């Protein structure tokens, strides 16, 4: 929406007064086109809160940072933000979640307030009201408000972010923005990791399990990996895409069984990363590539040469739901904890944390935008500690890549008669 950027030639800020059983104040603005406009800031529970806001507005007027955009209801802004920002740069799942929070929870409470008039007090009261119905939705609404208000600030629609430092009510168990606590009872210990890796060798999810446990990749990232993402000389992997449902896929026709297998952008800019490949996993990638070549040669007409590492024998990519049943079956047959697939990624992070790896390094490996993995709130602490420091060190020696070998040594890894070496390097160069 186009803003009306008028030049303020003078202003008058009135004192705080009671407004509708609460407190607020008014600001009279005079513009260079000889028009005037009165802006009201209200909804403060105490006179002190209202005076603090009044002083902030005065400071903005003096420093000429007060923005006077064309008035836009918060409801209109949030809908505009969803369609022009969130729908374009995030996954369909994120878009749907945000849209639900906006439509069913935020707009009914604050939708009729103008964007520039939204206050911290109003946002806090909204969190309290939503939390009375659902703590989870209150947390999601906080994320929506933080993200949308930052967007509004960056676009010059508001002069200050009213959602900054507005916390959820004490009844909601909170965690710092963009942090994650990993519960050890929801992860696998070393012995269990060894069991599931061995047991999965003859299943269709073996490579997915290795990428999750040995590199900490998300399921959607694993499904999006291609052989062209592998630097076979320097033993590195470029995580550059994920498979899922595209944000703008509503009403779009796709080939059968491909709607949820679209190549889409990663979760955040930090998710695009280059990682060292553990030696063991690198050898398994080479074996997997050999089988890929065999399947392609055996099924020349039916094979879909899309270059995916984790694919069917016909070259078709895996869906997000593919892992569920075989994974749960593995857990049950091997007497392992009934965890989620995403907890394999948590298991990887837990082992790094317990081995005293730097949080910043772990954050980069996992593709987080900040140092979001914390070790402050572990439960069942003895579960992994009981395995012993020695075993941890041995595990990490096996899992983490060793010093890169030289080119000649890497070249020897390709010395096998049934492996199409030129096609690999052609793919990489492409």
pLDDT at 287: 96
Residues 138 and 53 in one domain: no
What number of other Cβ atoms are within 10 A of residue 234's Cβ?
13
Where a domain ends, among 20, 35, 62? Answer: 62
Which pLDDT does position 60 carry in this prediction? 87
In a domain, 167, yes or no: no
Q: Output 186-189 pairs: Cβ under 8 A, ≥24 positions apart.
A: 186/337, 186/339, 186/340, 186/343, 186/346, 187/339, 187/343, 187/346, 187/347, 187/350, 187/384, 188/213, 188/336, 188/337, 188/339, 188/343, 188/344, 188/347, 189/383, 189/384, 189/386, 189/387
Give phi and psi for 123, each to the nearest 5.
-65, -45
Considering 62, 85, 100, which residue would you say is the last residue of a domain? 62
At 387 the pLDDT is: 37
Q: Same structural domain for residues 242 and 111?
A: no
Residue 250 has a pLDDT of 63
Tally of structural domains, the chain: 3
Residue 174 in any domain: the answer is no
Kindly report the CATH number assigned to the domain that includes residue 222.
1.10.443.10
Q: In whole angstroms, give the CA distance from residue 279 to residue 9.
A: 68
Whether residue 195 is found in the same domain as residue 316: yes
Closest CA to 380 of 98, 184, 219, 88: 184
DSSP string, 125-182: HHHHHHHTT-HHHHHHHHHHHHHHHHHHHHTTS-SS-TTTT-PPPTTS----TT-EEP
Assess whether 202 and 96 both reside in one domain: no
pTM above 0.75, yes or no: no
Pair 272, 407 in one domain: yes
Q: Cα separation of 316 and 324, whole Å?
A: 18
CB half-sphere exposure, 253, CA atoms < 13 A: 0
Secondary structure element (H or E) that encloses residue 57, with its range? helix 47-62
Residue 226 is classified by DSSP as: B
Token digits for 327? 């994974």
Helix axes 206-215, 190-199, angle to 10 degrees: 160
How far is Cα 97 from Cα 141, in angstroms, rounded to an integer? 10
Q: In terms of domains, do 79 and 56 share one?
A: no
**Whole-angstrom Cα distance, residue 276 to residue 403?**
10
My answer on whether 96 and 203 are in the same domain is no
DSSP 114: B
88 and 110 belong to one structural domain? yes
Antiparallel, parallel or unpaired: β 373-374 and 180-181 = parallel
Domain housing 140: 74-154
Whether 205 is covered by a domain: the verdict is yes
Please give the chain's pLDDT, 430 residues, in tens. Answer: 333 456 888 999 999 999 878 888 989 989 888 888 888 887 788 999 899 989 988 998 998 888 766 678 999 999 999 999 888 777 777 888 999 999 999 999 999 999 988 999 999 999 999 999 999 899 999 999 999 999 888 776 787 789 998 999 887 655 554 455 556 668 888 889 999 999 999 999 999 999 999 999 999 999 999 999 999 999 999 999 998 877 666 666 777 777 778 888 887 778 899 999 999 999 999 999 999 999 999 998 999 999 999 999 999 999 888 999 999 999 999 999 999 998 898 888 887 777 766 667 777 777 776 555 544 433 333 343 333 334 444 544 555 444 444 444 443 333 333 333 222 223 223 3
Return the residue matching tokens 């499904």. Answer: 223
- 262 and 404 belong to one structural domain: yes
Instruction: Tell me the C-alpha distance between 295 and 291, whole Å.
Output: 6
- Domain closes at, from 154, 175, 203: 154
87-89-94-96 Cα dihedral, nearest 10 degrees: 10
> How wide is the angle at C-alpha 291 spanned by C-alphas 278 and 193, nearest 5°?
40
For residue 24, being part of any structural domain is answered with yes
The verdict on 282 and 408 lying in the same domain is: yes
Q: Is 296 helix (H, G, I), strand (E, B) or coil?
A: helix
Residue length, the chain? Answer: 430
The answer as to whether 388 is a domain residue is yes
Answer whether residue 29 is part of any domain.
yes
Q: How many CA atoms lie within 13 A of 140 on its CB side?
A: 19
User: Is there a domain that residue 261 lies in?
Assistant: yes
402 inside domain? yes
| β-pair partners for 274 | 238
Which residue has 């914390």 as its token pair? 374
Return the beta strands (E) in 307-414 as ranges. Answer: 373-374
**Which CATH number fits the domain that encloses residue 133?**
1.10.150
Residues 222 and 99 reside in one and the same domain: no
CB atoms within 10 A of CB 310: 23
Q: Are residues 55 and 93 in the same domain?
A: no
């Amino acid at each position: 929406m186009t803003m009306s950027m008028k030049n303020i030639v003078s202003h008058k800020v009135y004192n705080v007064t009671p407004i509708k059983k609460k407190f607020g104040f008014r600001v009279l603005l005079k513009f260079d086109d000889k028009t005037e406009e009165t802006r009201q800031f209200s909804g403060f529970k105490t006179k002190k809160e209202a005076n603090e806001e009044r002083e902030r507005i005065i400071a903005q007027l003096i420093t000429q940072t007060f923005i006077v955009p064309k008035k836009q209801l918060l409801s209109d802004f949030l809908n505009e933000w969803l369609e022009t920002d969130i729908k374009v740069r995030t996954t369909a799942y994120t878009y749907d979640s945000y849209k639900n929070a906006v439509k069913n929870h935020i707009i009914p409470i604050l939708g009729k307030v103008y964007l520039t008039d939204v206050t911290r007090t109003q946002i806090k009261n909204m969190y309290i009201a939503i939390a009375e119905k659902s703590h989870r939705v209150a947390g999601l609404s906080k994320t929506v408000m933080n993200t949308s208000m930052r967007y509004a600030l960056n676009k010059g629609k508001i002069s200050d972010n009213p959602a900054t430092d507005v916390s959820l009510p004490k009844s909601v168990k909170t965690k710092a923005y963009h942090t994650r606590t990993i519960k050890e009872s929801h992860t696998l210990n070393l012995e269990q990791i060894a069991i599931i890796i061995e047991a999965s060798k003859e299943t269709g999810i073996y490579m997915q399990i290795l990428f999750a446990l040995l590199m900490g990749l998300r399921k959607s990232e694993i499904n999006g990996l291609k052989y062209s993402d592998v630097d076979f000389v320097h033993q590195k992997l470029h995580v550059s895409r994920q498979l899922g449902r595209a944000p703008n896929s509503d009403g779009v026709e796709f080939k059968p069984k491909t709607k949820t297998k679209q190549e889409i952008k990663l979760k955040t800019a930090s998710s695009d990363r280059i990682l060292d490949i553990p030696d063991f996993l690198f050898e398994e990638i080479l074996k997997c590539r050999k089988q890929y070549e065999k399947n392609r040669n055996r099924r020349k007409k039916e094979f879909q040469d899309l270059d995916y590492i984790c694919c069917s024998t016909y070259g078709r990519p895996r869906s997000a739901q593919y892992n569920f049943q075989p994974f749960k079956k593995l857990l049950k047959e091997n007497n392992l904890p009934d965890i989620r697939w995403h907890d394999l990624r948590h298991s990887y992070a837990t082992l790094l944390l317990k081995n005293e790896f730097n949080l910043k390094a772990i954050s980069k490996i996992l593709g987080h935008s900040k140092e979001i993995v914390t070790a402050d709130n572990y439960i069942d602490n003895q579960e992994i500690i009981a395995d012993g420091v020695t075993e941890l060190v041995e595990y990490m020696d096996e899992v983490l890549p060793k010093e890169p070998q030289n080119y000649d040594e890497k070249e020897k890894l390709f010395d096998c008669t049934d492996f199409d070496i030129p096609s690999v390097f052609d793919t990489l160069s492409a």
